[in-house]
Amino acid sequence: MLTFGGVMVYTAWGIRELGTTLTRLHTSLVPLPSMVAEVKSDLRRLSLVAGLNDRNSLLRAVDRLQKGDQTPQRLAQRLDKMRSRLERRDGSPEAQALLAHFQRLDSEYRAMDTQLKTFFRALEDGEDITVFRRPTRRAIAKLAREVEFFGLETSRALSRTIDVFEQDEDQLAWGAIFLATVATLLGLLITFLATRMLNPLRALREGVERVADGQYDTPVMTKANDELGLLATEFNRMAEAIRRRDAKLNEQQKTLLQREQLATVGRMSAQITHELRNPLSSIGLNSELMMEELAASQQTSSVDNARDLLMSITREVDRLKEITEEYLRFARLPVPEKSLVDLNHTAAELIDFFRSEMERAGVKMRLDPDPVPKPVEVDPNQVRAALINLIRNAKEAMAHGGHIVLRIRRVGDVVYVEVTDSGGGIQVDTQERLFEPFYSTKAQGTGLGLSMVKQIVDAHDGFIRVKSSPGQGTTFRLSFPTRISAEEDDV
Ligand SMILES: Nc1ncnc2c1ncn2[C@@H]1O[C@H](COP(=O)(O)OP(=O)(O)O)[C@@H](O)[C@H]1O
Ligand SMILES: [Mg+2]
């Protein structure tokens, strides 16, 4: 804007200068050639009159000159006017330079004027004029030459001035074009620089808006290497820190909620189990006693029937006892008692433990041990209990037999155990609820198994992950840190 203002001021100033020159020319130099022409015609007239030979016609002509068109007085006036043009203060410098020439012309005029007056007086006085005629004519001719010369000088000065004027005009035009080009280039440069400066700012502002909307995962991209670039980097770090803290808080909140849920469930389970346990035991005990009594008495068919009924009562009571035991295990999950455990070894033991059960169910079990085993600090009983739950679930998912693989591996600071089955897999909506207490899709299920597994893993600062798609089998992975709380001290 400023540059364009400068161009405007420059152009306006130039035009004003040209205008002043033009006015000066107009008031001083321009009228001169026509004045010179008038003076010349006056002189021609005088010369003609002075050339007349006949005394009478000469007398008449002089009379006409002095009283009629008053040529001598007019000549004097015209020369006066020319001088005043040349002497004007606001006139062009060229006009002032011409003044020297005019001075010569003027003195010639005075000489001529004196001659002319003497000549006319002699004529009027009736003297012999032949002596005066020649010098008068010579004086007129001399003045005419001087006027001619002055006229030439005038037109020369005029054309010189016009040349300079044209040059000035050209200069002004080119100057204006040059300045306008410079201004345009400058404007483009400034626009370019401003855009480049504003780009990182805009990116930063968008980043701030995203963070305000809770999107922490799209960093601010900027190529700037200056303070703005630094600011963007710091801003990204801040957003990343907020994102991590957010995720951690979410996780903690979820865990807290689950823990609270589990605590309630645990208290309820303990209560119910406690209430059920004693009556169940006495029912079981009494049934067994009755069976012994019956065995001692007479063998009749109705007694046989009664014994069958009692046996089924005992079976049901046993199942109820099992369930209450599971509730109790769940409710009274103790704090882990950790020791260094080789998980390869634990898995091998479990395969032995399950051998006959799996054979009956038509399930083949296999161990894929860690080739470079490293002991982990865990509670061996709890990890065993967790794995037993996973293996039982796997078996139950394969009604017509299949495979179970136990895989142990170490990745960095984490050791994991995977239980993979070739069963029917888990539906997506079921996957979301797997770890809820009492969630079960089985007719006889308690829905406490996976909930307990999760509790155990949490108590070890570990993770549980499930990978399953319907019809493709399922893998549960338990991860245990070899260093306790390894992933917690980095935020
Ligand atoms: N290996 C598996 N394959 C398919 N479904 C599974 C598997 N493990 C768990 N589930 C599903 O998760 C539910 C919850 O399991 P769990 O908590 O052990 O309770 P329960 O075994 O008493 O049903 C099961 O009812 C079942 O639907
Ligand atoms: Mg189960």
CA angle, 152 as apex, 148 and 157 as ends, to 5°? 145
Backbone angles phi, psi at 393, to 5 degrees: -60, -45
pLDDT tens track, the chain, 491 positions: 777 788 888 888 988 888 888 887 777 778 888 888 988 888 888 888 888 888 888 888 888 888 877 888 888 898 999 888 888 777 777 878 888 888 988 999 999 999 888 888 888 888 888 888 888 889 899 989 989 998 998 888 888 888 888 898 898 889 889 988 988 898 899 899 888 878 878 888 888 888 888 888 777 777 767 777 788 888 888 888 988 998 999 988 988 887 787 777 777 777 777 777 777 888 888 888 888 878 777 667 777 777 787 888 888 888 888 888 877 777 777 889 999 999 999 999 999 999 999 999 999 999 999 999 889 999 999 999 999 999 999 999 999 999 999 999 999 889 999 999 999 999 998 998 899 888 999 988 888 899 999 989 999 999 999 999 888 899 999 999 986 544 444 33
DSSP code, position 397: T
Q: Is the CB of 426 under 6 A from ligand 1?
A: yes
CA separation for the pair 389, 206 (Å, rounded)? 50
User: Which of 362, 363, 370 has its CA nearest to residue 346?
Assistant: 370
Q: How far is CA 110 from CA 31, 73, 104, 472, in A?
A: 23, 13, 10, 133
CA dist., res. 477 & res. 383, Å (int): 12
Residue nearest (by alpha carbon) to ligand 1 atom 12: 434
- For the stretch 417-439, pLDDT in tens is 999 999 999 999 899 889 988 89
**CA–CA gap between residue 114 and residue 155 (Å, rounded):** 29
Name the segment(s) of the chain with CATH classification 1.10.287: 224-332
| Cα R_g (the chain), whole angstroms | 63
User: What is the fold of 224-332?
Assistant: Helix Hairpins (1.10.287)
Q: From the CB of 447, is ligand 1 less than 6 Å away?
A: yes
Tell which residue, 311, 391, 312, has the closest CA to residue 352.
391
Q: SS3 for 74-128, per residue? A: HHHHHHHHHHHHHHCCCCCHHHHHHHHHHHHHHHHHHHHHHHHHHHHHHHHCCCC
Q: Whose CA is nearest to atom 26 of ligand 1?
A: 441
Of all protein residues, the one whose alpha carbon is nearest to atom 7 of ligand 1 is 393
478 alpha carbon to ligand 2 midpoint, in Å? 16
Strand 474-481 versus strand 402-411 pairing type = unpaired
Tell me where in the chain the CATH 3.30.565.10 domain(s) lie: 336-491
Which H or E element spans position 17?
helix 2-27
Residues ≥6 apart with Cβ < 8 Å to 232: 200, 203, 204, 207, 220, 222, 224
Would you put residue 402 in left (φ > 0), alpha (ψ -120 to 50) or beta?
left
Phi and psi based region of residue 325 (left: phi greater than 0; alpha: psi -120 to 50; beta: remaining)? alpha
Does the CB atom of residue 266 touch ligand 1 within 6 A? no
Pocket of ligand 1 contains residue 145 by CB under 6 Å: no
DSSP 176-218: HHHHHHHHHHHHHHHHHHHHHHHHHHHHHHHHHHHHHTT--SS
Tell me 1's DSSP state: -
Atom of ligand 1 nearest to the CA of 389: 18
CB 219 within 8 A of CB 236: yes
User: Which ligand is located closest to the Cα atom of residue 395?
Assistant: 1
Torsion of CA 383, 385, 387, 391, to 10 degrees: 170
CB 421 less than 6 A from any atom of ligand 1: yes
List of residues 6+ apart from 333 with CB closer than 8 A: 266, 382, 452, 455, 456, 459
Q: Which of 434, 435, 469 has most ligand 1 atoms within 8 Å of its beta carbon, as the pocket-test mutant?
A: 434
Identify which of 466, 463, 442, 441 has the alpha carbon closest to the alpha carbon of residue 454: 463
| Å from CA of 440 to ligand 2 middle | 8
CATH number for 2-185: choose from 1.10.3470, 1.10.10, 1.10.3280, 1.20.120. 1.20.120
Edge-to-edge strands, sheet with 463-468: 363-368, 402-411, 414-421, 474-481, 463-468
**Pocket perturbation via mutation, ligand 1, pick of 326, 450, 467 by most ligand atoms within 8 A of CB:** 450
**pLDDT, tens digit, 9 for 90 and up, residues 45-59:** 888 888 888 888 888
CA of 390 to the centre of ligand 2 (A): 7
Find out whether the beta carbon of 442 lies less than 6 Å from any atom of ligand 1. yes
Domain range 336-491, its CATH number among 3.30.930.10, 3.60.10.10, 3.40.1160.10, 3.30.565.10: 3.30.565.10
Ligand 1 pocket member 394 (CB < 6 A): yes
> CATH 1.20.120 residue ranges in the chain?
2-185
Ligand 1 atom with minimal separation from the 421 CA: 1
The residue nearest atom 19 of ligand 1, judged by CA position, is: 447
The CA distances from residue 126 to 42, 130, 250, 374, in Å, are 26, 12, 140, 158
Check if 323 has its Cβ closer than 6 Å to any atom of ligand 1.
no
Q: What is the DSSP string of 161-179?
A: HHHHHHHHHHHHHHHHHHH
The residue type of 347 is: A
**What per-residue confidence (pLDDT) applies to 295?**
78
Pocket residue to mutate for ligand 1, from 388, 393, 448, most atoms within 8 A of Cβ: 393
CA of 393 to the centre of ligand 2 (A): 5
CA of 274 to the centre of ligand 1 (A): 26
Measured CA to CA, the distance from residue 317 to residue 391 in angstroms comes to: 25
Q: 392 CB under 6 A from ligand 1? A: no
Q: Answer for the pair 122, 133: CB distance below 8 angstroms, yes or no.
A: no
Pick the atom of ligand 1 nearest to 450's CA. Answer: 17
Separation in Å, CA 328 to CA 230, 268, 293, 460: 58, 10, 33, 21
Q: Which atom of ligand 1 is nearest to the CA of 394?
A: 1
**Mode of pairing for the β-strands spanning 402-411 and 363-368:** parallel
CA distance 229 to 122: 108
Q: What is the number of the ligand closest to the CA of 363?
A: 1
Q: Is 393 in the pocket of ligand 1 (CB under 6 A)?
A: yes
Q: Is 423 in the pocket of ligand 1 (CB under 6 A)?
A: yes
Torsion of CA 197, 199, 202, 206, to 10 degrees: -140
- Find where tokens 């044209």 sit: 166
Closest residue CA from atom 18 of ligand 1: 449
Retrieve residue 125's tokens. 């006085």
Distance CA 29, CA 92 (A): 7
Query: How much distance in Å is there from the Cα of 273 to the middle of ligand 2?
Result: 19
Angle at 238 between CA 232 and CA 239, to 5 degrees: 90
